[in-house]
Amino acid sequence: MAFRRGFKSWCEQTALTVRRELGLSESAVLPARTLADHLGVTVWSIQDIPGLPDDTLRMLTSTLGDEWSAVSLIDANEHFIVHNSAHSRARQTSNITHELAHNLLEHDASPVLLVDDQEKILRPHDKQQEDEAAWLTGTLLVPRPAALEINRTKTSKAIMAERYGVSIRLLEYRLNVTGVKYQTRQTNRTR
Ligand SMILES: [Zn+2]
């Protein structure tokens, strides 16, 4: 993954800025719907879409429709995120946050859901944009101060991952890339 210079620190700053704006501490859990409200984005479950045929609804909310996570629907000035409410709460959080990350990154080639017979086409993000959104998602959910706290606490990683809305794999990854694991080892050594 090659990011432009300063991208990762911009992500850390953004994660702290939105928390400050929401009156949350630097290490607080960032609820996806709170962030969506803050950004003026409406979050819908698939059930909220008017006029969706029953069999489509059934398919998208069954295990058959398990692969899809969330899509952005941008219509004139309105931005909706439709997400798969069949997923676990933690996964819903990361799915919605991922779409919000695209929004924060001002990725204009947003994927658009095909609805009705209106002119809305599916335009997937390119690889670079997906990588950026993925990095920002991890940083928004577990910024460095949160990683430090998670690393320090006695509570299990599984519980902390659930709380912060990330997979255990992403949690471990964030602990590594933020350097908090290494830092904690160093501190222990000098004690
Ligand atoms: Zn994406």
Domain ranges for the chain: 7-185
Mean pLDDT of 101-126: 64
CA 22 to ligand 1 center in whole angstroms: 24
How high is the pLDDT of residue 72? 79
**Ligand 1 ion: Cβ-proximal residues, 5 Å cutoff:** 130, 133
pTM for this model (two decimals): 0.85
CA 185 to ligand 1 center in whole angstroms: 35
How high is the pLDDT of residue 55? 85
pLDDT digits (tens, 9 = 90+) for 37-84: 999 999 998 888 888 888 888 888 777 767 778 877 776 677 888 888
CA 106 to ligand 1 center in whole angstroms: 12
CA 96 to ligand 1 center in whole angstroms: 10
Cα separation of 163 and 31, whole Å?
A: 10
pLDDT digits (tens, 9 = 90+) for 142-154: 999 999 999 999 9
